Amino acid sequence: MSRAFYTDVLGFDVAFERPEDGFVYLSREGAELMLDAIEIGRTWLTAALEAPFGRGVNLQIWTEDVGSLYRCV
């Protein structure tokens, strides 16, 4: 679902992907983003896997044409 949002809605390109691991590396206008699926046995977790997700994460994506990006959403 996240992959589809970033690629289909926001226009990110898939630079690299490992579907069997639930991993995708995306890029758009110099911005790079890695998405990794929640799986049992992952050791990078910084908080419990419950809402709200993303605690402790600060994400900023820069674009020259925010109007175009806004119209996509």
What is residue 48's predicted lDDT score, i.e. its pLDDT?
76
What is residue 72's predicted lDDT score, i.e. its pLDDT?
82
Asked if residue 65 lies in contact with residue 73, where contact means CB atoms within 8 angstroms, the answer is no
What is residue 47's predicted lDDT score, i.e. its pLDDT?
72
Rounded mean pLDDT for each run of 10 residues along the chain, 73 residues in total: 89 93 89 82 70 73 82 84
What is residue 45's predicted lDDT score, i.e. its pLDDT?
66
What is residue 6's predicted lDDT score, i.e. its pLDDT?
92
Query: Which pTM was predicted?
Result: 0.68
**Residue ranges of E strands in the chain:** 13-18, 23-28, 31-36
Asked if residue 46 lies in contact with residue 55, where contact means CB atoms within 8 angstroms, the answer is yes
Asked if residue 6 lies in contact with residue 72, where contact means CB atoms within 8 angstroms, the answer is no
